[in-house]
C-alpha cells in the first residue's frame, strides 16, 4: 500500500516488507524505462521505488535534466508524463540486493525481456552493473550503452544509485544519467 511522503516506516514495518512487491511505473512506448535491481525494505514498506532516504536516484534524475525538479518517491507516477518509467530485475523486496540469488537475477532478466518486448520503451536503463551482468549473462559489461538490444529497445547500464554504492557521488551519477538523457533525446528526435 502506497503511503504519503511523510510516512517513516518503523522497524516492524520494514521487517514486514521483506518479500513483498511494489507496482511498476510503466506504460507503452516510454523514452526510458529505469530498472532497479529489486526494491529495498523501505520501498516495500512505503510502496514507492527508490524510497529509502539516501538513495541517489531522485537527485541524479533531477541533476541530469530528466526531471524539471527533484521528485519525491511518492510522485513517481508523474514520471510517466515525461516518458519515463520504473521497474526492477527482481520484484522481491530485500534488505540488500546481495540477498538475491544468481538464479533469481537470471529469471528476472527473462521476465524483464518479456516486459520490454511488451511495452517497447526506447531505452532500458539497468541501474546496477553486477545485476545486469548476472541477469543477462554479460560478465564483461561496463557502464554505458550496450551492444545488445531487446527487440527495438536499446540497453544502457548505469551505476546503482543506492547509498551503499560509495564509488559514485550524486554528481558522478548525474553525469552518467545526463549521458543517457542526451541519447534518449537523440533517439526521440528532441
The CATH number assigned to the domain holding 37 equals 3.40.470.10
Q: Is residue 102 part of a domain?
A: yes
Contact 48, 23 (CB under 8 A): no
Q: Is residue 127 part of a domain?
A: yes
Cα R_g (the chain), whole angstroms: 15
Q: Is residue 6 part of a domain?
A: no
Contact 173, 129 (CB under 8 A): no
pLDDT, one tens digit per residue, over 53-96 is: 889 999 999 999 999 999 999 999 999 999 999 999 999 999 99
23 against 2, higher pLDDT: 23
Q: How many domains does the chain have?
A: 1
Q: Is residue 133 part of a domain?
A: yes
Q: What is the pLDDT of residue 54?
A: 86
Query: What is the CB neighbour count within 10 angstroms for residue 72?
Result: 14
Residue 164 CB contacts under 8 Å (≥ 6 apart), including other chains: 96
Q: What is the pLDDT of residue 3?
A: 65
Known catalytic residue: 38? yes
Strands 153-158 and 144-150: antiparallel
Q: Is residue 7 part of a domain?
A: no
Known catalytic residue: 88? no
Whole-angstrom distance, CA of residue 74 vs CA of residue 48:
6
Q: Is residue 184 part of a domain?
A: yes
Marked catalytic residue, from 38, 55, 88, 160: 38
Q: Is residue 12 part of a domain?
A: no
Domain region containing 84: 18-188
Q: What is the pLDDT of residue 190?
A: 64
C-alpha cell at 157: 547500464
C-alpha cell at 20: 513483498
Tell which residue, 183, 111, 109, has the closest CA to residue 145: 183
Whole-angstrom distance, CA of residue 5 vs CA of residue 28:
27
Q: Is residue 3 part of a domain?
A: no
pTM of the model: 0.95
Q: At 50, is the pLDDT very low, low, confident or very high (cuts 50, 70, 90)?
A: very high
On the 0-12 / 13-18 / 19+ scale of CB atoms within 10 A, 171 is exposed
Q: What is the pLDDT of residue 165?
A: 77
Question: What are the b/e assignments for 107-121, b being 16+ CB within 10 Å?
Answer: ebbeebbebbeebeb
Q: At 164, is the pLDDT very low, low, confident or very high (cuts 50, 70, 90)?
A: confident
Marked catalytic residue, from 49, 55, 63, 88: 49
Amino acid at each position: 500500500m502506497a503511503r504519503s511522503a511523510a510516512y517513516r516506516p518503523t522497524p516492524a514495518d520494514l521487517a514486514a516488507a521483506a518479500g513483498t512487491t511494489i507496482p511498476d511505473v510503466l506504460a507503452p512506448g516510454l523514452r526510458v524505462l529505469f530498472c532497479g535491481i529489486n526494491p529495498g525494505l523501505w520501498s516495500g514498506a512505503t510502496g514507492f521505488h527508490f524510497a529509502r532516504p539516501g538513495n541517489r536516484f531522485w537527485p541524479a534524475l533531477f541533476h541530469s535534466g530528466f526531471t524539471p525538479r527533484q521528485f519525491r518517491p511518492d510522485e513517481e507516477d508523474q514520471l510517466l508524463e515525461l516518458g519515463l518509467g520504473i521497474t526492477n530485475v527482481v520484484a522481491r523486496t530485500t534488505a540488500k540486493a546481495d540477498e538475491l540469488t544468481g538464479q533469481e537475477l537470471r529469471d528476472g532478466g527473462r521476465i524483464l525481456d518479456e516486459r520490454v518486448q511488451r511495452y517497447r520503451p526506447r531505452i532500458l536503463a539497468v541501474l546496477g552493473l553486477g545485476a545486469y551482468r548476472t541477469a543477462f549473462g554479460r560478465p564483461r559489461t561496463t557502464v554505458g550503452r550496450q551492444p545488445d538490444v531487446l527487440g527495438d529497445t536499446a540497453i544502457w547500464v548505469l551505476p546503482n544509485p543506492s547509498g551503499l554504492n560509495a564509488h559514485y557521488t550524486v554528481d558522478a551519477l548525474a553525469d552518467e544519467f545526463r549521458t543517457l538523457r542526451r541519447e534518449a533525446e537523440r533517439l526521440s528526435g528532441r
